[in-house]
């Protein structure tokens, strides 16, 4: 098991292979935010804090939406030696951002980071919701770590489990995000799907993020606790 510190929304910090990794940095205060894509999102709660020490690598699911990369998060990227994200996102961000295509890997000291597929909505959603990615971290003698990013597809999870399972620690973005897009279809996993994803991955440690602090999350802590209890996985779960 690894120690994971969460800050609200999709933002989590963990150390792995001697490096400090931060997921989707969101440190703005409550209010309305318009993403570069033009989507307006409402933040309801402040972050619980900020990382106390420098970050080595940001693992950025995508840059298009303010609930995954807000204004303060963008400012933080300038202080970080490396941001790994989608190829399109790296072009938009510039600086130290590097894009990884699905299944492409980069070696960082003792750690290998592999970009893995994610889908931010129903089949065919990419022209609207944009390109997103997840990550798997591996290292000799280390338990693997999966960071789902904004993913609504259990098919993608099965692909990842087929290549990397069982997973040591799974950081699963949940929240059952629904907006006016795609007739209200899920844009991220709902609570039961998140539990099923953890089962598919064979995850020994499960950290749930991306279910609070924003108005468009439709399922929060209670729904997740119920779903993981029903799945017999409650003893493996950290709820933010």
* pLDDT tens per residue, range 85-141: 999 999 999 999 999 999 999 999 999 999 999 987 667 656 666 689 999 999 999
- Whether residue 173 lies inside any domain: the answer is yes
In a domain, 79, yes or no: yes
In this structure, is residue 187 part of a structural domain?
yes
- In order of 14, 24, 50, 72, 218, the CA distances from 53 in angstroms are 12, 17, 9, 16, 33
Percentage of the chain lying above the pLDDT 70 cut: 92
By residue range, what is the domain housing residue 139? 4-232
The region, left, alpha or beta by phi > 0 then psi within -120 to 50, assigned to residue 17 is left
240 within a domain of the structure (yes/no): no
Residue 152: predicted pLDDT: 86
Q: What pLDDT was estimated at residue 128?
A: 67
Residue 108 domain flag: yes
3-state secondary structure of 102: coil
* C-alpha torsion 76→59→68→143, nearest 10: -130
Q: So what's the pLDDT on residue 220?
A: 83
Residue 40's pLDDT is what?
A: 81
- CATH code: domain of residue 17: 3.60.15.10
Rounded-to-integer distance, Cα 137 and Cα 71, Å? 27
pLDDT < 70 stretches in the chain: 36-37, 121-122, 124-130, 180-185
Signed CA dihedral, 237, 164, 133, 135: sign only: positive
Predicted pLDDT at 187: 77
Cis peptide leading into residue 213 (ω within 30°): no
Look at residue 239 and tell me if it is in a domain: no
């Amino acid at each position: 098991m690894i120690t994971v510190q969460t800050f609200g929304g999709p933002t989590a910090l963990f150390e792995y292979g001697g490096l400090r990794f931060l997921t989707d940095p969101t440190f703005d205060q409550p209010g309305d935010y318009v993403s570069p894509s033009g989507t307006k999102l409402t933040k309801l709660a402040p972050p619980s804090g900020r990382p106390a020490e420098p970050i080595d690598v940001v693992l950025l699911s995508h840059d298009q939406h303010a609930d995954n990369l807000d204004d303060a998060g963008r400012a933080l990227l300038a202080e970080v030696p490396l941001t790994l994200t989608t190829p399109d996102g790296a072009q938009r961000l510039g600086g130290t951002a590097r894009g990884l295509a699905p299944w492409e890997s980069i070696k960082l000291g003792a750690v290998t980071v592999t970009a893995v597929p994610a889908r931010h909505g129903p089949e065919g959603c990419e022209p609207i919701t944009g390109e997103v990615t997840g990550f798997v971290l591996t290292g000799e003698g280390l338990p693997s770590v999966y960071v789902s990013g904004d993913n609504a597809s259990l098919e993608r999870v099965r692909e990842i489990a087929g290549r990397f399972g069982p997973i040591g620690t799974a950081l699963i973005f949940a929240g059952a995000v629904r907006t006016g897009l795609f007739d209200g279809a899920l844009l991220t996993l709902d609570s039961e799907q998140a539990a099923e994803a953890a089962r598919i991955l064979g995850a020994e440690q499960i950290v749930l993020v991306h279910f609070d602090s924003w108005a468009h999350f439709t399922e929060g802590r209670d729904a997740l606790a119920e779903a993981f209890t029903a799945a017999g996985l409650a003893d493996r779960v950290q709820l933010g």
